[in-house]
Amino acid sequence: MAALMMRGSLSVRCSPSFGARSWAFANSASAQSVSVPTGKSLPEQVKIVEVGPRDGLQNEKTVVPTEVKIELINMLSEAGLPVIEATSFVSPKWVPQMADQEEVMRGIQRRLGVRYPVLTPNLKGFQAALNAGAEEVAVFGAASELFSKKNINCSVEESLQRFEEVVRAAKAANVTVRGYVSCVLGCPYEGQVSPDKVAQVAKRLYSMGCYEVSLGDTIGVGTPGSMRAMLSAVSSQVPLGALAVHCHDTYGQALANILTALQMGVSVVDSSVAGLGGCPYAQGASGNVATEDVVYMLHGLGIHTGVDLTRVMDAGAFICRSLNRRTNSKVAQASCKL
Amino acid sequence: MGNVPVPAKHCFSVERLFPMYPRLPLWMQKDKVPAPNQLPEFVKVVEVGPRDGLQNENEIVPTKVKLELIDMLSKTGLSVIEATAFVSSKWVPQMADHTDVLRGIHREPQVKYPVLTPNFQGFQAAVAAGATEVAVFASASETFSRKNINCSIDESMQRFEKVLHAAKKAQIPVRGYVSCALGCPYEGKIEPEEVTKVAKRLHDLGCYEISLGDTIGVGTPGSMARLLGAVLAEVPADALAVHCHDTYGQALANILTALQMGISVVDSSVAGLGGCPYARGASGNVSTEDVLYMLHGLGIETGVDLAKVMEAGDFICKALKRRTNSKVALAKTGV
């Protein structure tokens, strides 16, 4: 079985008594590309956007010391992830977990070729981010009016106007902007959300200058059916190559939804190491989909990600120990007796 | 079939009747390949919680709790509930009360209650206890077969042949399982051709349905598509089912892939009962609630009431003093 072990740290922290675990990784890494039953080929490459340090930690109850955040981001940088959402320039009064935003930004060891976007809800946040050395920022819109009002205290239109300011300033400073749309498959307040509304908001973000728009199933209620309908509507307004999916696993549907998105031509997937970040709308339920589980599926499909799964698992094990919690990643659970 | 409800259409369709009545003219079942991109209108969910689920739980569950669980599941609309296993109580203490369970359940008229029968002796005991459907378990991996049931694949087939022969005489349908369909904890990779051989043998021997089991949950949509591509060349889609484990979180994506390839029978376990004996602490069976959520979200009919399944799941988790493995249950109850 030693020949089947992946080079790296799998044997260091875990002691698989069966070849199954190590074999599983070797197998998933060496699978050949398959075309899916729908007849359309899956993308050959998928970009994983790691949101654990921001979206993940922001939704964890335990406030994590700055040096732990920095160590986490550094470990993720070494795992081959091309994009790591580092922190958020929001008011520390509202989001205490992100209060150390500047220290984190200045403290991380940036790896060449890796991007470290930060959230900037408005011009003020953008300027602070720029001062702290940000080269990419992100703005968060919503497809639901009620959610927008409850979450960021303004209407969708008002938020888009704020973002336009940010995008203008970002352009002037040569900083790229990623857009997010939340509640694309359902809203905790409004319930069903119309795919056309999602398409409208996505189009606005893209037209104003966001290079990519990440479509978030904020409460994880989506299924492959609603994912397909939403993506059909959005892709008629925004090119597929500029779209990403940000699926929550609250109802266990994330991987099936991501697979559907891939089948429709989306090739950027957001995920969170160890599945960090529960759902604030369903107490005790899970939130973000785990990076390890996504990478396992992608590699099993023969899709190239550039990500070293064992190193992501190491980062996941590290942050879970710091948070004193169990991982939400099934791949991690299956591989280690933790 | 006009205004006939979808589940009825499914029951009376040629696809369903043909395996049970093989003398139906071949011309009736030709050309019925699923169109690409088309999902089945109806999916049959086979509930394995009371057997496969409980068998892999550490806590021994009292008979009356098992009976209550099965009775609750019988009222959810599930059409197949795997009730127990007629195996040696020395090896599987959880199933020691198999006769009491089979005799004690309140059988719903539209529900089938298959029981595991690894050999002729088990089959006889099952029939004596009133079984009206049985199941046999083969493996696509030689090593797994030897370690799990102490004999080679060939030897196991000979045992099953006896069971099938007797079952045919007694007019008892037999379901076949193939474990390690996407990987083996001992051998590692399993070639789709090996799985196909075993599935075909079981089908040829008379099993009306073959459930392909990803025993250690290592499969992904890629390996599932490759597996089904091979098996479908030898066994018709309507005689196949998928039994996905969620050990690596891949189950729903794998099930979706299977549906896209024309499979319309899915095994699952209420509350995701039944961990993985090969990865301690890891999950095993995919949970029925999560499967139903996906199917219903896709507009696929199942005839099953998700809320009632969740109640059954809640009941058995309280009895086992454990948390549900179902994400849908966790999200909806906020516990």
Q: Which residues of B touch A285 (CB under 8 A)?
A: 327, 330-331, 334
Number of separate helices (H) and strands (E) present in chain A: 14, 9
When pLDDT is cut at 50, 70 and 90, the band that residue A4 belongs to is very low
Question: Which chain A residues are Cβ-neighbours of B331 within 8 angstroms?
Answer: 220, 250-251, 279, 282, 285
Q: Which of B186, B222, B297 sits opposite A31 (nearest CB)?
A: B222
- Mean pLDDT to the nearest integer, A18-41: 49
| Token digits of residue A152 | 């960021």
Residue A134 in domain: yes
- Residue A27: closest CA among chain B residues belongs to which residue? B189
Q: Which residue, B315, B312, B257, is CA-closest to B289? A: B312
- In the numeric block, which tokens belong to residue B176? 């076949």
Task: Please report which confidence band the pLDDT of residue A30 belongs to, taking 50, 70 and 90 as the band edges.
Answer: very low
Give Dmax over CA atoms of chain B in angstroms. 54
User: What is the largest distance, in Å, between two alpha-carbon atoms of chain A?
Assistant: 59
> B222 and A259: CB-CB below 8 Å?
no
Residue B49 corresponds to which tokens in the numbers above? 């919680």
What's the pTM? 0.89
Binary contact (B221, A301; C-beta < 8 A): yes
Q: Which amino acid is at A151?
A: N
- In chain B, % helix, strand, coil (3-state, to 5) comes to 45, 15, 40
B298 touches chain A (CB under 8 A): yes
**Distance in Å, alpha carbon of A294 to nearest chain B alpha carbon:** 9
DSSP code string of B129-146: TT-S-EEEEEES-HHHHH
Q: Say if A249 is an interface residue toward chain B (CB within 8 Å).
A: yes
Please give the C-alpha separations between residue B218 and each of A278, B215, B247, B253, in angstroms, as whole numbers.
25, 8, 7, 12
Tell me: the pLDDT tens digits for B183-219?
999 999 999 999 999 999 999 999 999 999 999 999 9
Choose among B248, B278, B298: nearest Cβ to A223. Answer: B298
Task: Enumerate residues 33 to 52 of chain B having a beta carbon within 8 A of any beta carbon in chain A.
Answer: 36-37
Determine whether the interchain pair A222/B297 forms a contact, defined as Cβ–Cβ distance below 8 Å. Answer: yes
Residue A185 lies in a domain: yes
Q: Does residue A283 sit at the B interface (CB-CB below 8 Å)?
A: yes
**Residue B214 touches chain A, beta carbons under 8 Å:** no
Residue A338 at interface with chain B, using a CB cutoff of 8 Å: yes
Q: Assess if residue A162 is contained within a domain.
A: yes
CB of A43 within 8 Å of any CB in chain B? Answer: no
Beta-strand ranges (E) seen in B21-157 are: 44-47, 80-81, 84-85, 115-116, 134-139
Question: Which chain A residues contact residue B183 at CB under 8 A?
Answer: 20, 23-24, 27
**Which residues from B are below 8 Å from A251, CB to CB?**
290, 293, 327-328, 331
CATH of the domain at A322: 3.20.20.70
Cα–Cα dist B126/A274, whole Å: 45
A227: alpha, beta or left? (left if phi > 0; alpha if psi -120 to 50): alpha
Q: Is the pLDDT of residue A33 over 60?
A: no
B307–chain A nearest CA distance, Å: 14
A304 found inside a domain: yes
State mean pLDDT over A123-138. 97
B255 touches A: beta carbon within 8 Å: yes
Q: Which residues of A touch B216 (CB under 8 A)?
A: 20, 24
Are A223 and B294 inside 8 Å of each other by CB?
yes
Reply yes or no on whether the pLDDT at A36 is more than 70: no
Predicted local distance difference test score (pLDDT) of residue B28: 41
In a domain, A23, yes or no: no
DSSP assigned state of A175:
-
CB < 8 Å to B214, chain A: none
What's the CA gap between A182 and A219, in Å, rounded? Answer: 9
Lowest mean pLDDT among A113-122, A198-207, B16-25, B272-281: B16-25
Q: Using 50, 70 and 90 to split pLDDT, how confident is the model at A286? A: confident
Domain count, chain A: 1
Flag whether residue A21 sits within 8 Å of chain B, measured between CB atoms.
yes
Please state the rounded mean pLDDT for residues A5-13: 34
Tell me the residue range of the domain where A144 lies. Answer: 47-335
ipTM of the complex: 0.88
What is the average pLDDT value for chain A, to the nearest integer? 89
Domain presence at residue A201: yes
pLDDT of residue B3: 46
Of A18, A24, A259, nearest to B248 by CB-CB distance is A24
Determine the Cα–Cα distance for residues A251 and A222; give it in Å rounded to an integer. 8
Q: Residue B215: closest CA among chain A residues belongs to which residue? A: A20
Q: Which of residues 67-96 of A touch B (CB under 8 A)?
A: none
Q: What is the dihedral of CA B288, B294, B300, B305, to 10 degrees?
A: 40
Condensed to tens digits (0 to 9), the pLDDT of residues A226-248 reads: 999 999 999 999 999 999 999 99
Half-sphere exposure of B76 (CA within 13 A, CB side): 28
Q: How far apart, in whole angstroms, are the C-alpha atoms of residue B133 and residue A324?
A: 48
Interface test mutation site (partner A, options B256, B264, B291, max chain A beta carbons within 10 A): B256
In this prediction, residue B132 carries a pLDDT of 97
**Under-70 pLDDT residues of chain B:** 1-37, 334-335
Residue among A255, A259, A284 minimizing CB distance to B335:
A284
Whether A252 contacts chain B with CB within 8 A:
yes
Who's near A215: CB < 8 A, 6+ residues apart?
A181, A184, A198, A202, A230, A231, A234, A243, A244, A245, A246
The verdict on residue A20 lying in a domain is: no
On whether residue A12 sits in a domain, the answer given is no
When pLDDT is cut at 50, 70 and 90, the band that residue A24 belongs to is: low
